[in-house]
Chains A and B, each alone.
Chain A
Amino acid sequence: MSLLRDFADKPIKQNPVFVLALGLCPTLAVTTTVRNGVAMAIAATAVLVCANVLVSLLRRWIPDQIRIPCYIVIIAGFVTMVEIAMKAVAPPEVNEALGIFIPLIVVNCIILGRAEAFASRSGPVSSLMDGLGVGAGFLLALLAISFVREVVGAGTLWGYRLTPLSLAGVTLVPPVEPVMILSMAPGAFLVIGLLFGLLRWIGSRHDKRASALAVRAVPQVAGDFPKKSRGGEGDAGEGL
């Protein structure tokens, strides 16, 4: 049960992007299409899970004073492996689109943050579940942003045309001019800003209902949900 708990909170309640605001660079840079977003999330999750497990296994031998450099070397090793694997497996246009953001996984604050906040004081299986949970949250966030950007900004989904879309001669979606700005750099900021606000709004409504129903409100989620619930874990990423 506790293993499930290591996983369960991470994708939604502690979403790395929309609640903790970590790992913003790849989130904004590669989400022009859903396929790029998924490729990025898989690459980052692979590094996160492997680094989490290895840090957890080595936690008794890593001296406290030099733990951050140790984590960085571990992460950089896995990033190099993922980089080579991506060159072999992923289609060339995906590699082209992800570009320097694959080697930049090494400075992704989500991964270093989990190593420091979780894996360095938990067992390998818990750390594995934690990595999968946070990775799933990252994937969800990238999916949401890239879905909006690709559908509205390019009129396609996973590379297939949506506008105009016709099936057996019947027009399902009339030809609509895509809002191209969403595929470009400013669109990334606008989409994440609006989604962030929307999720906070839903979260605050949910909280209000929950605290009205609950006999004793959970102190951590009461009040200004996205800001206050950051707690200790968010501190690692503050200002990075």
Chain B
Amino acid sequence: MDVSYLELAVGSILISNLVLAKFLGLCPFFGVSRRTSSAVGMGGAVIFVMVLASAVTALLYRHVLLPTTPEHTNILGALGLPVPEGGYVLVLKTISYILVIGALVQFVEMVLRKAVPALYRALGIYLPLITTNCAVMGIALLNTEAWRDPANGLPVHLAAFNGFCGGVGFLFVMLLMSGIRERLADLPVPRPLRDLPMAFLSGGLMALAFMGFTNLFGIAV
């Protein structure tokens, strides 16, 4: 099924933002958005992991989990191993995705520490938290099984691009949220609403504002 880069980008960043419309990654959205510096660190780390995780899970979906079709071959089937009629999607999807993401996060952490120590110092403490960040697992599912065409999923390059856009959308709203919360910290908010409840309400107003992007450029999501 054809889908353009623009469609994916506008769709994932603005129209159906991961956080505000799809409700993914809410724990970091509310947990690490008290300060702009930590919000940016978390957002950067999420973009990094999301691109890699999207690409790897898209490959995994097409070539291991799905049965062989004219469009793609199942590697296990090609090696002569038995593949059930519907592939391994139902039984192995969840467990293989979470293991891939967990391993990937560890790997990224090791590579960054050796290769780019400066970046590691900036993102390092956020990386371990990402394994259980549902936005990463969520976008992997959205790219594959929950994509419009679940019999194929998104091709790898588009999945990686969608992961990047999802990450940018996450960073964008993290940045907005941290700005709002830094201001809110100095304001006389009623005591029971201080901090978290006020953050929820601000998030609600942001989601309301983002609903204004519906049908932007005639893109339906």
Contacts and interface: CB of A to CB of B under 8 A. Distances in A.
Contact of B200 (A99, A108, A192, A204): A192
Decide if the interface of chain B is mainly helix, strand, loop or mixed.
Answer: helix
B71 to A, nearest CB: 23
Given A73-B99, A185-B20, A189-B201, A106 B27 contact: no
Task: Using C-beta atoms within 8 Å of the partner chain, give the interface range for chain B.
Answer: 35 or more
B28 interface: yes
A104 B201 contact: no
Given A83-B94, A100-B142, A103-B141, A189 B200 contact: yes
A172 interface: no
A25 B91 contact: no
A93 B174 CA distance: 32
Contact of B207 (A185, A194, A239): A185
A237 B203 CA distance: 20
A187 interface: yes
Nearest to A181: B208
B26 A25 contact: yes
Nearest to B142: A100
Interface string A94-113: 00000110011011110010
A29 B201 contact: no
Which size class do A's interface residues fall under?
35 or more
A182 B196 CA distance: 19
Contacts of A190: 200-201, 204
Interface in B153-180: none
A186 B195 contact: no
A104 B138 contact: yes
Given A100-B142, A201-B192, A186 B24 contact: no
B198 interface: yes
Contacts of B201: 189-190, 193-194
A136 interface: no
A186 B205 contact: yes
Contact of B141 (A26, A100, A184, A201): A100
B90 interface: yes
Contact of B27 (A25, A80, A186, A200): A25
A21 interface: yes
Contact of A107 (B22, B133, B199): B133
B23 A25 contact: yes
Interface string B71-108: 00000000000000000001111110111001000000
B95 A73 contact: yes
Contact of B94 (A106, A108, A196): A106
A109 B146 contact: no
Contacts of A134: none
B134 A25 contact: yes
A239 B129 contact: yes
B95 to A, nearest CB: 4
Nearest to A190: B204
Given A100-B146, A186-B204, A197 B27 contact: no
B110 interface: no
B132 A112 contact: yes
Contacts of B137: 103-104, 106-107
A238 interface: yes
Interface string B205-221: 10110010000000000
Contacts of B28: 239-240
Contacts of A104: 24, 134, 137-138, 141
B31 interface: yes
Interface of B: 20-28, 30-32, 42, 90-95, 97-99, 102, 126, 129, 131-134, 137-138, 141-142, 145-146, 190-193, 195-201, 203-205, 207-208, 211
11 contacts: A28-B23, A79-B94, A83-B90, A100-B141, A104-B141, A184-B211, A189-B201, A189-B207, A201-B192, A204-B191, A239-B28
The 5 closest A-B pairs by CB, nearest first: A193-B200, A189-B204, A29-B23, A201-B192, A190-B204
